[in-house]
Chains A and B, each alone.
Chain A
């Protein structure tokens, strides 16, 4: 599996990462190097093996349903470049 320049641009756009035209080819080469490294895994015979989502032999911890957090709007918006009345302000997005 390998990616072309259009795919690199698309992935960058979906991730909202600005990539200069001059960087695209270099990035494509790097991504393809990673993909071919990972591709070695396809040599392993996995017929009948259930996909594994975790390597730790434990069940997921669960919380009790109680309100134990929140009430910290100053901290929540503390790093935001623009706020008003504890709202985050972002450039207008309208459908």
Chain B
């Protein structure tokens, strides 16, 4: 909150600059087989009300019993966010009335959450890194789902999601721009996916964000905030903040004031609008849930979970930089998804890591992006890509042929070494053969030869011609050496 204003992120207004202040509440669905307080399945997309127990439907007399795995997942998440783990926490009832909330309250944690303050280091597109504070993480139940477009006068309610465990991850108001907010959610998602505590699937609603936005003059006290509910893609988060900050600045510059309220982002129109009907619902009348004892465990329990945490993105990035000599940028790109990092490591093993990084980031990731695939479904395996790099390293194929070979393996599969053999893609290193081509080209272009003697840069034209007439298979270094010798350069 007291971080100095970063000038590059200020927004121009009619009478001077404005600073936007953003805090986020990210709801992450806990990865578990069954629900937080019942034995019904958490699987996405079941038939209506088929993943519902009598507990989830809030039938009279049903009592909640906590799922230990969800507790462990919350602790792992806290550890991954460098946060304090509270050995004792309490579940409260958050009371509100809505048809997809059969209990009439959500079991959540209010005064005593399971995870306290922590921090996340966020890398921004401009190369800068900022530390974003975490206020708390608590466990709570998800609500059911209402469908409003199935019937002219009725809403349909499906309770399959009702009671699924969520982690609400609350940041401090440390974010200062749409880019900050987008980078923060990406990093959070990456950490959760590494930990295996949330699948991060935003399309299925496993990760969604409430975004608190306010604006102020740099150095002034915090302005009145508006909360934008349930934004479900990283791109929309950026758009919603962009729109909302501008809306608030316009109101203030016209001499108006901001009403604290809940708003909805409309992705179709790219704007936020007021959800007036929810205002009264803010009286949640929290109180400790009498059906549940306090959640308690000891430090040894936490330490045992900590001992089994996987290597997280920050540690992996540091290792890629120091161990493989990668640039921070390349290392950052590779560690974003654990699968990409694993793929890279498999390719880099026993090979030149910088070349491996280049191929994974540029050729492979570029190609995957173009076809909208993820690395898990890559047609080219780490083994195949490794073999292609070996063939370059051995001098068997040129870098240019390697790209053709990559295309063939992508489309047809197979062993790259065998493909090179069977299709005659081997680089020609036989000096006699190359010399023959060089001589032919020199003899056929006496004017260019004369030109090259006065302008050594013209040698590039000859290299190109020789490569072309050899079908890209001549060794470029050998071609260069021969040309230089023959032209007397």
- The residues of A with any CB-CB pair to B shorter than 8 Å are 10, 14-16, 53-54, 56, 58-73, 75-77, 82, 84-95
Contacts and interface: CB of A to CB of B under 8 A. Distances in A.
Contacts of A54: 293-294
Contact of B52 (A61, A76, A93): A76
A90 to B, nearest CB: 4
Interface in B407-463: none
Contacts, number: 138
A86 B51 CA distance: 12
Nearest to A62: B68
A64 B67 CA distance: 6
Contacts of A90: 99, 146, 154-155, 157
A28 B277 CA distance: 27
A73 B98 CA distance: 20
Given A76-B57, A92-B154, A14 B283 contact: yes
A89 B48 CA distance: 12
A12 to B, nearest CB: 12
Contacts of B53: 69-70, 72
A76 B158 CA distance: 10
B314 to A, nearest CB: 28
B47 A67 contact: no
Contacts of A95: 264, 275, 277-278
B154 A63 contact: no
A66 to B, nearest CB: 6
Contact of B296 (A59, A66, A82, A87): A59
B144 to A, nearest CB: 9
Given A70-B50, A91-B153, A93-B146, A60 B67 contact: no
A35 B156 CA distance: 40
Nearest to A65: B69
A58 to B, nearest CB: 7
Contacts of B66: 60-63
Contact of A69 (B38, B146, B159): B38
Nearest to A89: B154
Given A62-B65, A88-B157, A70 B293 contact: no
Given A53-B294, A56-B293, A63-B67, A71 B50 contact: yes
Contacts of B283: 10, 14
B158 A70 contact: no
B148 interface: yes
A70 B48 contact: no
B90 A63 contact: no
Interface of B: 32-34, 38-41, 47-55, 57, 65-71, 90, 95, 97-99, 146-148, 150-151, 153-159, 264, 275, 277-278, 280, 283, 285, 288, 292-296
B155 A94 contact: yes
A66 B33 CA distance: 6
Nearest to A82: B154
B148 A94 contact: yes
Residue of A14, A15, A54, A87 with most chain B CB atoms under a 10 A cut-off: A87
Contact of B48 (A59, A72, A85): A85
Contacts of B156: 84, 87-89
B107 to A, nearest CB: 13
B51 A70 contact: yes
A75 B57 CA distance: 10
Closest 4 CB pairs of A and B: A68-B39, A65-B69, A70-B40, A69-B53
A86 B48 contact: yes
28 contacts: A14-B285, A16-B97, A53-B294, A54-B293, A60-B66, A60-B296, A62-B68, A63-B68, A66-B39, A67-B40, A68-B34, A69-B34, A69-B39, A70-B41, A71-B50, A76-B52, A76-B57, A77-B49, A85-B48, A88-B99, A88-B158, A89-B155, A90-B157, A91-B153, A91-B155, A92-B154, A93-B148, A95-B275
B155 A92 contact: yes
Contacts of A68: 34, 39
Contacts of B39: 63, 66-70
Contacts of B280: 14
B49 A73 contact: yes
Contacts of B48: 73, 85-87
A65 B67 contact: yes
Contacts of A94: 148, 155
A76 B59 CA distance: 9
Contacts of A75: 54
A93 B98 CA distance: 9
B68 A53 contact: no
Nearest to B41: A67
